[in-house]
Amino acid sequence: MMTSAMIEREMTSDGRPVGDGVFVAVVGPSGAGKDSLIAYARGRFAGEGAIEFVRRVVTRPSDGAAEDHDSLSEEDFAAAEARGAFSLSWRAHGLSYGLPAGVDRGVEAGHVMVANLSRAAIPALCRRHADVVVVEVVAEPEILASRIAGRARESAGDAAARLARQAGIDAGDATVVTLDNSGALEVAGERFVDLLRRALARAAIAGAV
């Protein structure tokens, strides 16, 4: 995995990282249930405008089986990246991923922005935003293997390679929280919802200063 070198508008005009909101980055291995947790929380926060769940742009067709994302071809993605359409972009697993530039406006407005990210994109995210919380979603190895097999989205060899990777998180001064999603979705889901409520409180305090 490697983060794209094309990171537009790295700082605000006066040199500060983008603030006053909180960016919650959800990371973890395939099969940990990141998209399921995000979908669970989205349902619990329906109608609350101060929290936004970011829709990613991915160079993979959206099949409705997992993440709800926007799709672009590699050529169209590169063109969008070149014109500064993304707040953050990176490469992983042979695909290109991007977060739309509107993410910055949400953070500037003091909102909590939630997105599924690659670990490799975290350093650039932390340079860009003043307040970052990294939620590392984990699960037992047999659970990961079962979920990956159930998706039937990759070969057994690719799935095994994913599980064999043990990547650390270079999060700098960001807050890192580990969330075990081995059991019922509601258990980890409610913990995630509580974490997001605390992030909302944190953003409200920062905006009042």
| CATH number of the domain to which 28 belongs | 3.40.50.300
| Dihedral pair phi/psi, residue 37, rounded to 5° | -65, -40
Q: How many domains does the chain have?
A: 1
Domain assignment present for residue 11? The answer is no
At residue 134, the pLDDT reads 96
Q: Judge whether 196 and 51 are in contact, CB under 8 Å.
A: yes
Domain assignment present for residue 123? The answer is yes
At residue 81, the pLDDT reads 96
At residue 6, the pLDDT reads 32
Domain assignment present for residue 32? The answer is yes
Residues of the chain with pLDDT under 50: 1-16, 156
Domain assignment present for residue 164? The answer is yes
Q: How far is CA 171 from CA 18, 111, 125, 152, in A?
A: 16, 21, 9, 32
Closest CA to 131 of 48, 204, 47, 29: 204
Report DSSP state, residue 129: B
| Dihedral pair phi/psi, residue 157, rounded to 5° | -65, -45
Report DSSP state, residue 172: T
At residue 15, the pLDDT reads 42
Distinct helix (H) and strand (E) counts, the chain: 7, 10
Domain range for 118:
18-56+107-208
At residue 150, the pLDDT reads 74
Domain assignment present for residue 94? The answer is no
Q: Helix, strand or coil for residue 150?
A: helix
Domain assignment present for residue 99? The answer is no
